Amino acid sequence: MKKIVKIIIAIAGITFISSCKDMLEAPTQSSLDEAVIFSTPALAEGAIAGIIQSFAETNSYRGRYLVFYGINTDTEISNSLKSIDDDKSRLSNYNTNVNNSQMNTDNNAWAKFYEGIERANLAIRGIRTYGDVEHNPQLAQILGEMLTLRAVVYSDLIKGWGDVPARFEPISSETLYLPRSDRDVIYKQLLADLEEASNLLAWPNETPATKSVERVNKAFAKGLRARLALAAGGYAQRMDGTVRLSTDPDLSRDKMYAIAKKECLDIINSGKLRLLGFEEVFKTLNQETGVAGKESMWEIPFSEGRGRVIFDLGVKHTTTDKYTMQNKGGTNGPNALMLYEYQPGDVRRDVTVVPYEWTNGVQVPTNLNKLYFGKYRYEWMKRIVTSTNDDGLNWMYMRYADVLLMAAEAINEIDGPAAAAPYLKMVRQRAFPANAAKVDQFMAQVTASKTTFFDAIVNERALEFTGEMLRKADLIRWNLLETKLNEAKAKLIQLENRQGIYVDVPKTIYYKTAADGESVVIYGLNMGEKDIPDPSLGFTSNKSWTLSSSTDQNTYWDALVYKNRSPNKQQVWPIWQYFIDNSNGLLDNKHLDVQ
């Protein structure tokens, strides 16, 4: 099944227009039109496509948010580290400028997110006014989807820009211009919306609408509510510039952990989702089956001619070959540290961290300073990508392993590590399917105290979700962003100099092409391997395995955070100058350290 091929939203004369001024100046549609549309499921469903269109636009999730938000942490990094002052780099290295050429346009992610919110607001008002939600399960599903999709957009707005204007009703002349709202106000609305949505939506595979991961279901709404609760109860850079917890008693950490625990346990106890083998999770994604009820909970659907998941985040093909007519991939990749963070036997490493690229249909080793996310691969797709700019792969927004680890985190805080252990153990067992004794030993160590268990969760989420752009938001809510970036910088210097825990990392790798004529076999990627392999192994080529080169303008670790700036002074992007200039003086970036 593949997908929304082309979306033009102009149902029964209602046209969604992105410009706020145009919205106000557009002719008012008759209430009869809305009454027909939003009381008829087949017509009201078109509003879902309208929001997805806002996701898929060039400067929205497709080519801006997914590629730039979440980069430069201890797990994920821009692969374009030769410059630190260009506008692409500045979106990642905590030195973003308000006139950034990648974002400072009238049609960028900020604009498209609010376009999607306006479309959702119109549909929510229409269905509440004209739809018989109580007696029509199809309209209930659509209202639940609208509330959830709006929450998705607001969640990412807050992650990207912090405190943002709150719009929960269609734009009017009185609300054309709005200042930033305290994010706590938005969080409380979203938590209420998602509680309502979960009562309207069906579980995966319960109805025709929830048989696909491209449609919102009850499990995803609950999972998103848990994620938002953890964010709302965590640390963040506030409008006074400080990094702190909320002072709103309704969003206390205890209350937010309780919500996360409840929602995650509801999902787990439903039995509607399950873990797949780790490689199977991403082969299933790349093969585009789209079937609900497995590990993927919801995916942003891209048509074959839209979306840049492999294009920006996948294993690079430097030339076209039998797997792809698109020579792209690898704008971003794993932080080099991740190659050595996985313990021997962890099946996640070779799926997550790929030390080669494809040239002329053959895998060729890269360098330590250029690794790729192996979760997204042209070679795992069932079709050949022919577009020069897009690959059409869906973005997996949430999966069941996230629910298990959120449950483990929340239950540890409320009930302690013994009660939380089963949920972490499920994820760990999948990582070490052939070594139950190793898993048991690990669990005995990490359940020693609430603190050791929390530290294990912090580490496990890095190992599990590298390449899925969850790390930055996690580190922020734990108040660990600057700490982990400083640790990463120190560890990278040690890695380059083969000091500390990296003393046994070989300085040279050896490689050969396997018997299949395309796969590369590499010796020297593991700690403790000899500098020179046994000659009988038949390795014919070698190369230096280093983070730096004679052409580097900046070292790998110095490019992680711009010139030793404090990441906590710019945890979020500024609102771009275009929108500041057109805000009637109501928007500013006074709380951020920006240029």
Following DSSP, what letter does each residue of 202-243 receive, concatenated?
Answer: PPTTSSGGGSBTTS--HHHHHHHHHHHHHHHTS-EE-TTS-E
| Residue 507 half-sphere exposure toward CB, CA atoms < 13 A | 7
- Comparison of pLDDT for 481 and 59, the residue scoring more: 481
Residue with the bigger pLDDT between 236 and 7: it is: 236
Q: E-assigned strands of 101-149?
A: none
Q: Count of residues for the chain?
A: 595
DSSP state for residue 573 in the 8-state scheme: P
Mean pLDDT confidence for 535-539: 93
Residue 551 binned pLDDT confidence (cut-offs 50, 70, 90): low
| Mean pLDDT value across residues 171-198 | 97
Residue for token pair 């639940």: 144
Q: What is the mean pLDDT of residues 388-409?
A: 97
pLDDT per position as a tens digit, 107-160: 999 999 999 999 999 999 999 999 999 999 999 999 999 999 999 999 999 999
Mean pLDDT (whole number) for 567-574: 96
Phi, psi of 76 (to 5 degrees): -135, 145
Domain boundaries, the chain: 309-393+506-544
**What is the model's pLDDT at position 557?**
87
Distance CA 365, CA 355 (A): 6
Structure tokens at 223: 């999972």
Residue 559: predicted pLDDT:
86
Reported as a pLDDT band with limits 50, 70 and 90, residue 3 is very low
Dmax over Cα atoms in the chain, in whole Å?
A: 81
Cα three-residue angle 571-577-578, rounded to 5 degrees: 130
φ and ψ at residue 478, rounded to 5 degrees: -85, -5
**Residue 552: its pLDDT value, please?**
63
Residue 563 confidence (pLDDT) = 86
* Three-state SS sequence of 512-559: EECCCCCCEEEECCCCCCCCCCCHHHCCCEEEECCCCCCCCCCCCCCC
pLDDT of residue 283: 98
High-pLDDT (> 70) share of the chain, %: 93
- Burial group, residue 277, by CB count within 10 angstroms (0-12, 13-18, 19+): middle
Q: Cα 306 from chain centroid?
A: 18
Task: Determine the pLDDT at residue 515.
Answer: 96
**7 pLDDT higher than 90:** no
User: At 594, is the pLDDT very low, low, confident or very high (cuts 50, 70, 90)?
Assistant: confident
Give percent of the chain above pLDDT 90. 86
Mean pLDDT of 238-251: 96
Question: Mean pLDDT, the chain, as a whole number?
Answer: 92
165-180 b/e (C-beta count within 10 Å ≥ 16 → b): bbbbebbeeeeeebeb
List the one residue out of 391, 383, 397 whose CA is nearest residue 313: 391
Distances (CA, A) of 167 to 157, 205, 209, 259: 12, 32, 28, 24
C-alpha of 36 from chain center: 37
Q: What is the pLDDT of residue 359?
A: 98
Residue-level pLDDT at 23: 32
Tell me the one-letter amino acid at 367: N
Query: With 80 as the cut, is the pLDDT of residue 554 above it?
Result: no
Angle between helices 218-232 and 183-200 (to 10 degrees): 160
- Are residues 401 and 427 in contact, defined by beta-carbon separation less than 8 angstroms? yes
Burial label, 462 (beta-carbon count in 10 A; 0-12, 13-18, 19+): buried
Q: Is 263 helix (H, G, I), strand (E, B) or coil?
A: helix
pLDDT average, residue stretch 361-379: 96
pLDDT grade for 6, boundaries at 50, 70 and 90: very low
Question: How do residues 13-47 score in pLDDT, each as one tens digit?
Answer: 233 333 333 333 333 445 558 899 999 999 999 99
Contact between 207 and 60 under an 8 Å Cβ cutoff? The reply is no
Please state, in angstroms and rounded to a whole number, the distance separating the CA atoms of residues 581 and 482.
Answer: 32
Helix axes 109-130, 137-161, angle to 10 degrees: 150
Q: Residue 378: what pLDDT?
A: 98
Q: Does the N-terminal peptide bond of residue 3 adopt cis geometry, omega within 30 degrees of 0?
A: yes
